[in-house]
Chains A and B, each alone.
Chain A
Amino acid sequence: MSAAVYRATGIARALETAGAWLLGALWILPLAYALWTAFHPGEFSTRFVLAAPLTLANFAKAWAAAPFARYFVNTVILCTMILAMQLVLCTLAAYAFARFEFPGRGLLFALVLVQLMVTPDVLIVENYQTMNALGLRDTIVAIGLPYVASAFGIFLLRQTFKTVPKELDEAARIEGCSPLQVLWKVYVPLAKPVYLAYALVSVSYHWNNFLWPLIITNSVESRPLTVGLQVFSATDQGIDWSIITAATLLTTAPLLIAFLLFQRQFVQSFMRAGIK
């Protein structure tokens, strides 16, 4: 707690509390509005009467109107694939940067960090050509591949591995462990909270990612939820807002529910990921 002596008192305090709540209400308003619209029949979408009947019909209609089940499967495959590959690749690279001396280390690390600025989202035109040349266009692999070697993941894990005492490393070596066994038995277990943090950030990023998947996919078989939702609300529906908001909530529900259940972990993960 910082600045306990500088905490507002009296009227100032009441004003601040009111301000904080007003802002909070403003911030939650769009979501509350979406919930209202999605759970009520269309004619109540902008009429706020307490007696308005609740309904799940909008969700049923949305679910039936587009292959959301398939989109869900695609997104889950996408997020799992990206995360699994990221964890392996970033761990190996971070280990190299943290604990091995080799020529070009500094330069290579700088080259890795370039990706923090120049993210794959910016290089869509060339990456599209590459995927085309590789014959991967319109596949789930193509959506994920540019993100697999994540500079952010390498950086985060390198910082973490560097804090592991060298003595532990040496002790394991004396026991006869190979470098990969040391990595697996010493470094990885000690970095568990960081892995969790990274996993949460990665999954929420790729669950939400939109522009690159929009460009590289054009069939139901490979489209993730975000693109599916856009195709659905832009073409199929005209302007039936109740159904569109229901679909919107449907696609975000897993992430939103996970967030509400594991609020603390989420906030701490984003925090941890940012501070390093």
Chain B
Amino acid sequence: MTRTAQWLYGWLLLLPAAALLALFTHYPAAATAWHSFFSTPRGARPPSYVGIDNYAQLLDDPIFWQTLSNNLWYAAGTIPLSIALALLMAAWVNGKLVGRGLLRLAYFTPTVLPMIAVANIWLFFYTPDYGLLEKIGGALGLPAHNWLGSKNTALGCLMAVAVWKEAGFFMIFYLAALQQISPYLAEAAAIEGASRWYFFRRVTFPLLMPTTLFVLVNAVINAFRLVDHIVVMTRGGPDNATALLLYYIYEVGFRFWDTAYAAALTMVLLTVLALVALGQFWFLDRRVHYQ
């Protein structure tokens, strides 16, 4: 095949996918940046250039800062816990425990259920007066507590749902990685007299590093883009205690129809994701390629 034919084939094969990607990923990302410097069109009033007004509004907006801080807490609470649980689950179902097939099933099932459906179920758990959590608390003599209605516990309740949903998903990647570690390593380490914990810390865990990075990146992205359960369980309340960044974008964009301000908020989210991507490349370069 001639060189020109190669070029032509390459471009033509790529064209349909590239066109759609450009239309629904690159164009909207660029348009978001552009629109964030304009005002929201209202009725007959077309958008006008407002410079950094939308960003100034953002800096002055206490709700924005709260959603950002909520989101960071949410990430800090869900990511380490779900990764640690995933590793623990993987270690367990990789061993010779009784009924590990069933266990694997139990751990993984939340992954295939829609977030919106499980949020409905968990909502019932947390319901005041006759939810399961209240019944258990009542039986133990604890005072009644409105789990989702209280500012102190609502975000924690949502975090529990996220950890429950994600840990089993991350588990399978650890499981796959664990199965590829040569058993000779453990034998050699045992001959050298390494303790079980020492072996995990110095051999198994470093070998799992690429998996951990993969899982970590996924977990971070999910912490910023999965808000289905908020729509079902709290709608960002009480008093914005559970509003995450994307949920706030959704409210600003589709309930207040302030698209320009939503664009500025989206830029913040895109920045977060860009930082994650950069962090991933930096980390990949440095230490993950262990072998």
Contact = CB atoms under 8 A, between A and B. Distances in A.
A138 to B, nearest CB: 14
Interface stretch (A50-58, A66-74, A188-196, A248-256): A248-256
30 contacts: A1-B94, A20-B92, A21-B99, A25-B106, A30-B164, A34-B124, A89-B17, A93-B13, A96-B11, A102-B9, A121-B246, A124-B250, A124-B253, A125-B32, A125-B259, A129-B259, A130-B23, A149-B25, A210-B114, A211-B228, A215-B254, A230-B232, A233-B120, A241-B127, A245-B124, A249-B117, A251-B114, A260-B105, A270-B111, A274-B172
Given A100-B6, A149-B18, A233-B120, A252 B204 contact: no
A7 interface: yes
> Which of B7, B95, B116, B246: most chain A CB closer than 10 A?
B116
B20 A89 contact: yes
A82 to B, nearest CB: 12
Interface in B1-19: 1, 3, 6-7, 9-11, 13-14, 16-19
A210 B231 contact: yes
Chain B interface residue bracket vs A = 35 or more
Given A93-B14, A226-B116, A271 B25 contact: no
A163 to B, nearest CB: 17
Interface string B171-182: 011011011011
A22 to B, nearest CB: 11
Nearest to A259: B112
Contacts of A95: 13
A181 interface: no
Interface of A: 1-8, 16-17, 19-21, 23-25, 27-28, 30-31, 33-34, 37, 45-46, 88-90, 92-93, 95-97, 100-103, 105, 108, 111-112, 114-115, 117-130, 145-146, 148-149, 151, 154, 179, 204, 207-208, 210-211, 214-215, 225-226, 229-230, 233-234, 239, 241, 244-245, 248-249, 251-252, 255-256, 259-260, 263, 266-267, 270-271, 274-275
Contacts of B164: 27, 30
Given A4-B186, A31-B109, A89-B16, A120 B9 contact: no
B113 A255 contact: yes
A210 B3 CA distance: 46
Given A210-B114, A271-B173, A274-B172, A101 B6 contact: yes
Contacts of B143: none
Q: Chain A interface mostly helix, strand, loop or mixed?
A: helix
A276 B138 CA distance: 49
Contact of A271 (B175, B189, B273, B277): B175
B263 A229 contact: no
Contact of B120 (A125, A145, A179, A244): A244
B115 interface: yes
B176 A46 contact: no
B231 A214 contact: yes
B31 interface: yes
B213 interface: no
Contact of A124 (B31, B189, B249): B249
A111 B26 contact: yes
Q: Chain B interface mostly helix, strand, loop or mixed?
A: helix
B210 to A, nearest CB: 9
Given A111-B21, A111-B26, A125-B263, A37 B112 contact: no
Given A117-B277, A266-B112, A125 B262 contact: yes
Given A130-B27, A226-B116, A230-B231, A270 B172 contact: yes
Interface string B138-169: 00000000000000000000000000100011
Contacts of A118: 25, 29, 270, 273
A180 B82 CA distance: 44
Given A102-B7, A149-B17, A210-B116, A117 B221 contact: yes
A259 B168 CA distance: 14
B32 A126 contact: yes
Nearest to A26: B164
A128 to B, nearest CB: 8
Which 9 residue pairs across A and B have the least CB separation, nearest first?
Answer: A102-B10, A126-B28, A100-B10, A208-B114, A96-B13, A149-B20, A93-B17, A3-B186, A146-B24
A24 to B, nearest CB: 4
A252 B113 contact: yes
B102 interface: yes
Given A27-B109, A256-B113, A248 B14 contact: no
Nearest to B218: A274
B231 A96 contact: no
A115 B25 contact: yes
B266 interface: yes
Contact of A93 (B18, B127, B276): B18
B190 A27 contact: no
Interface in B104-135: 104-118, 120-122, 124-125, 127, 130-132, 135
A103 B204 CA distance: 43
Contacts of B249: 124-125
B98 to A, nearest CB: 6
B118 A30 contact: yes
Contacts of A117: 221, 273-274, 276-277
